[in-house]
Amino acid sequence: MYVAVKGGDAAIEAAHRWLAHERRGDPALPEITALQLREQMTLAVDRVMAEGSCLDRDLAALALKQSRGDAVEAAFLLRAYRNTLPRFMAAEPLDTGAMQARRRISATYKDLPGGQVLGPTFDYTHRLLDFTLAAEGAAPSVPEEDAEGTGPMPRVTGFLTGEGLMRAEAPDDGEAPPDLTREPPSFPASRPLRLQALARGDEGFLLGLGYSTQRGYGNAHPFVAELRVGEVEVLVEPPELGFAISIGEITVTECQMATQFAGSREEPPQFTRGYGLVPGQNERKAMAMALVDRALMARELGEEATAPAQDEEFVLLHSDNVEATGFIEHLKLPHHVDFQSELEKLRSIRRRWEAERVAARKEAAE
């Protein structure tokens, strides 16, 4: 007989031991190390790092190991950890224009200063399972690096801005951007807040939203003006020094989309910029983010906003996967008190419904 659960302590203990056992898998095989994950599951680690909003690949790899490869659970672990860290200061804005790009492509020009650099990409691989990977082999050779390295890579959107065809961004108002990890978001949200939320938002959610704008739900006509992946320096300016110093490098993916804007009474027809920036290498998300960023401009551009991706509250309040998974999965918690009152309610309504039907039938018979 199933008895109402008491002795939760013992059950939780046993569940945790079982979980640890499942995580380890077959003990006859060597245990995977966080270091191996960091080096060989790089894109999974990058995703966890971005959505966990904690730019440390070692910690992200550890989280991934602990979560048995569950990316959202791993992001959750990282978020919980980062909240415990003291904050010293905010970094200077990253200069992605000075990026050491490993990959830089533009879909809008066949060739351009700085060139098209494919870099390490799946884009033109044929998706045929490579069974040789099932066996362990020697490390593949790396193509020799260009002795000259990559030259300067001016931003593609700069060419369009120079010609006046790209809508100018609002100038820097000198104000510190809001921090959604410290203050609750308020609506209507500013663009810095929006971009912050999107950068840590769930890749799958943004992917679906971005895709919907391409299929008529939001009317985007996007072009990838530029996509670049590489390392940027992180600078901080300690107040006691009075000048900026470098504290290291991080890998980021930046995407700038050019999208048509029909113009208005005040502004001529032009391109507008959707912007995506994601820590680590994650082109799918950077592109989806740029699409959603542009869709969310509908209000300020005076465009008709009818699609989900154009609805700021809808997008920003549902893009965080730690929040979303928490609320969806909380349905697994006991709800029997509410459910009991629901049962009583339903029985009461049903009794009335039955009684009314009987009365109606009697009336019809008479």
Partner 1 sequence: MSAAVQEAGGYNFAYLDEATKRMIRRAILKGLAIPGHQIPFGAREMPLPYGWGTGGIQLTASILGPRDRLKVIDQGADDTTNAVSIRRFFQRVAGVEVTTRTAEATVIQTRHRIPERHLTEGQVLVFQVPMPEPLFRLEPRLTEARRLHALGDYSLAQLRLYEDIARQGETGSSYNHPVMVNGRYLMSPSPIPGYDNPKLHRSAAILLFGAGREKKIYAVPPWTEVRSLDFDDHPFRPMLAAAPCAFCGSRDSYKDEIVSDDRGGRVFVCSDTDHCRENQS
Contact positions toward partner 1, by CB under 8 A? 109-113, 118, 123-124, 126-128, 154, 156, 158-159, 162-163, 214-217, 219, 262-263, 269
Q: Which is nearer to partner 1, 253 or 321 (CB)?
A: 253
Q: Which is nearer to partner 1, 128 or 176 (CB)?
A: 128
Q: Which is nearer to partner 1, 188 or 269 (CB)?
A: 269
CB of 217 vs partner 1, minimal distance in Å: 5
Q: Which is nearer to partner 1, 117 or 250 (CB)?
A: 117
CB of 209 vs partner 1, minimal distance in Å: 14
CB of 317 vs partner 1, minimal distance in Å: 23
Phi, psi of 159 (to 5 degrees): -60, -45
CB of 310 vs partner 1, minimal distance in Å: 13
Q: Which is nearer to partner 1, 44 or 112 (CB)?
A: 112
CB of 132 vs partner 1, minimal distance in Å: 12
CB of 287 vs partner 1, minimal distance in Å: 11
Listed residue (213, 234, 230, 222) closest to 308, CA to CA = 213
Q: Which is nearer to partner 1, 52 or 210 (CB)?
A: 210
CB of 263 vs partner 1, minimal distance in Å: 8
Q: Which is nearer to partner 1, 158 or 177 (CB)?
A: 158
